[in-house]
Structure formats: structure tokens, C-alpha cells
Amino acid sequence: MIKAFLTLMLLSGQLSEIVTALPATDGRDLGIMVMGSIVGKDHQKNVALIKIFTTGKVQAVKNGFMLKNQFIVTEITAEYIQIQDTRNKKAIIIYQEKYATAFAIKKKRPKVKPKEAASIDYKEEGFQRSKEAITMTNKFRQSLLNDLPSILMQATATPIFNDGNLQGFKLHQIDANSIFDKAGFQNGDEIVAINGGSFKNIPQSIKTLNSLKKENEVEIEIIRGGTFITKTVKVK
């Protein structure tokens, strides 16, 4: 179970109410313009055409691309891109100019609390979650490890970098009723530390994950909407 959770981290629609709760701009104040985008069913393969004002350079970018050595692209849609400022960890929406009017109208609507991706409590044979505390039997953990290839298809994750340094991993596309959903993970969760140790680089992260293979107690630190959350996993 533990390794199944953590191994994963290494590996056009309408504007939503939740998106409009984020700071939004046409990008001029940041020196960035979204000129267009190519979107498909697989959101991780979406591409945006970006222009940097200071250099006049136009380039195609995907999720995880670093703009101006400060902003990481975290989402690309038909109308906008979402970026994260590595200096303060805040998310920002940059919309295409042709959608400015529609976006302004939607911003006047009240903020809506994001729907929880999982119930507060969950229980099945060999597995139980009470809020952020997860317990399972060794048999249940082993069944997950034996089906690891399928487990890894139940969600996606993208690395988070700050000045070129690995800071953690952000979860996306969590399948309903998957082990991630049952464990209470939500889309957008940023996993930033395990057992008190932060991520430094990919090789170190792999080493950390391998060392957890037989651990019976693990703490996973998460940032969700700017709030720190600690999940505990215990194998009995």
C-alpha cells in the first residue's frame, strides 16, 4: 500500500466556479501571454502557445514547464492556463484575451467550496480510514503491491520544482473508488514530505520509496489549498 501510494509520484470546457476563486489575469502584468492551446481527452498532453513579452519568444509548453524561471505550468485548458508561483506557492490563472469578458462575468459569482474527493470515513475488509488516519492489514498491503501496475494507473502526478529543486509531487486525475480515493487523497494535493523528510531530487526520492517498502508506519505531509495536512498509514 505505502509503496503503491508513493511509487506513483515518480512516474474545451467551461470555466469552473472553483477556478474563478483563484487570482486571474490576462498575463500582461506577468509578462506572459497565452496565444492559444491544443487540448484533448488526456489533459496531461495538452499544449499551450505562450509568448514572453521581455524576449518576444513564442513557444509551445506542457504541464510542468517552467516560465521565466519562476512559474510552473500546472494546468492547460482551452480558455486558460494555471501556473504556480514557485516563490510563494500561489496558483494563478492566465486566460486568453478572447475569453476575458466571459471570465470577468464568472468572477462575480460567489466562491464555491470544492467538492470532497472522498468521504470522511471509509472501510472495507483489511482497510480503514478515519479522516487522515489509515490502517490496513499486511495482507491488504501485499495485495496492492502485487497489483502495482494497475494501481499506478489510478492517478497521475507531476513534480513540483522551485528554482530547479524538487519540492514534491502534485496529484491529478484520481479515479473514483481507486485506492487513492479511498485513502482520502484529492486532485491538487501536493505531497511534500514523507516521515519528516522532504524531497531533494528524483534519485533520492526513489531511494526513500524503496526504504518504505516494509515500513509499518508512515507519515505523509500534504498541502491542500494552502493548508498542511498529515496523513498517517499504519500496517497491522
DSSP conformation letters of 173-201: -PPTTSHHHHTT--TT-EEEEETTEEP--
Per-residue model confidence (pLDDT) at position 120: 61
- Residues 145 and 205 both lie in one domain: yes
- Residues 75 and 150 both lie in one domain: no
- Residues 223 and 191 both lie in one domain: yes
Q: Find, among 29, 25, 84, the residue nearest to 54 by Cα.
A: 29
Residue ranges making up the domain that contains 173? 2-11+116-235
pTM higher than 0.85 for the full model?
no
CA atoms 57, 86, 132, 4: torsion sign: positive
- Residues 126 and 208 both lie in one domain: yes
- Residues 123 and 217 both lie in one domain: yes
- Residues 32 and 123 both lie in one domain: no
Per-residue model confidence (pLDDT) at position 186: 94
Tens of pLDDT, residue by residue over 171-204, are: 988 999 999 999 999 999 999 888 888 777 777 7
Per-residue model confidence (pLDDT) at position 208: 75
Kindly write down the DSSP assignment for every residue of 151-164, as one continuous string: HTTS-EEEEEEETT
C-alpha cell at 186: 484529492
- Residues 79 and 135 both lie in one domain: no
Q: Find, among 156, 147, 128, the residue nearest to 233 by Cα.
A: 128
- Residues 127 and 221 both lie in one domain: yes
Domain closes at, from 55, 73, 107: 107
**Which stretches of the chain score pLDDT less than 50?**
2-3, 8-20, 105-115, 117-118
Tens of pLDDT, residue by residue over 88-106, are: 888 898 988 877 765 554 4
Instruction: State which H helix or E strand residue 210 sits in.
Output: helix 202-211
Domain closes at, from 90, 107, 124: 107
Number of domains in the chain: 2
